[in-house]
Amino acid sequence: MSTISIPEVHSTHAATWLLVMTATIQPSPRADVLRADPVLRLADYQQALRFWLGETHPCADRILFLENSSSDLSSLQAIAERENPAHKLVEFLSIPASPIPEGFNYGYSEMELLDAGLDRSELRRATTHMIKTTGRLVFPALGHALDRLPAAPELLIDCRRFPWPRHGADARVQLFACSHVFYDSHLRGSHRAMNTTDLRLLEQLLYSRVIRTLGQPRVYLRFPCNIDPVGYSGFKARSYQTLGHRFDQAVRALLRRIAPSCWY
């Protein structure tokens, strides 16, 4: 990939966004995902990249595509070159993953990928904030949610507590936004804290990290509106447009209005 020549940004008054698409085209058997066919997954990433290239909100002005299975990215690079009407800067980095430890899942590799990819990214140095997305999914309401905040967030993520009879809580890992300073201070290296019991899942791990920041300025542990994904779950290989998912989304949208302190 050609070098991207861009100035560094040091402004603390306005956010400049880097949209980070995490990708694993050929998942490890230990990743514990059902949507594992590399052909299907590549098609998912291609479709998502086209969406973000066409997104007009500034949150997607710069795109970093991180992939960790050493797969061929030429078809994605061609899309960025030929189907990029706004001439957005797009950076592709291929960073092979370490073996997933016994008892862990995809989350270990995903956070490891983020750490390494952000370290190497030239676009990161030209931005102040990042949006982490699961690269196969798109979130059409993302720009609307960011516009509803009074200022650029230090952290914006959806947390939830499980209703009876389940116990515990977790954080949504498909999509979150944060400043680069927040990421380096609170999330970098977090995969090393994973274990095979209470922090086995990435959702549990991130919740354990971000709940400590509750009440700090510009930390939002709930999105101001529903940010419904479009695409297929990697874990269950089901569309997010099923009746069950749409019912859950409707309940969450209602609770955000009538009971905003209820993290469902």
DSSP letter for each residue of 130-142:
EEEEETT-B-TTH
d(CA 178, CA 156): 6
Q: Domains in the chain, please, with CATH? A: 17-258 (3.90.550)
pLDDT of res. 193: 87
Reduced 3-state DSSP string for 7-51: CCCCCCCCCCEEEEEEECCCCCHHHCCCCCCHHHHHHHHHHHHHH
152 CB contacts (<8 Å, ≥6 apart)? 14, 15, 128, 129, 179, 218
Does the predicted model carry a pTM greater than 0.85? yes
Q: Omega of the bond prior to 29 within 30 degrees of 0, cis? A: no
Tens of pLDDT along the chain (264 residues)?
434 444 343 333 478 999 999 999 998 877 678 888 999 999 999 999 999 999 999 999 999 999 999 999 999 999 999 999 999 999 999 998 888 777 777 788 899 999 999 999 999 999 999 999 999 999 999 999 999 999 999 999 999 887 666 678 889 999 999 999 999 999 999 888 888 778 878 888 899 999 999 999 999 999 999 888 998 877 666 777 777 767 777 777 777 777 766 665
pLDDT of res. 235: 65
Tokens representing residue 264 in the block: 């469902």
pLDDT of res. 28: 81
pLDDT of res. 107: 80
For residue 160, the tally of other CB atoms under 10 A from its CB is 18
For residue 129, the tally of other CB atoms under 10 A from its CB is 22
pLDDT of res. 263: 65
d(CA 57, CA 152): 14
Q: Using alpha carbons only, give the angle 183, 195, 181 rounded to the nearest 5 degrees.
A: 5
pLDDT of res. 5: 43
Give the type of residue at 26. Answer: Q
Q: Using alpha carbons only, give the angle 109, 212, 33 rounded to the nearest 5 degrees.
A: 25
pLDDT of res. 254: 76
pLDDT of res. 95: 94
**β-pair type (129-134, 155-156):** unpaired
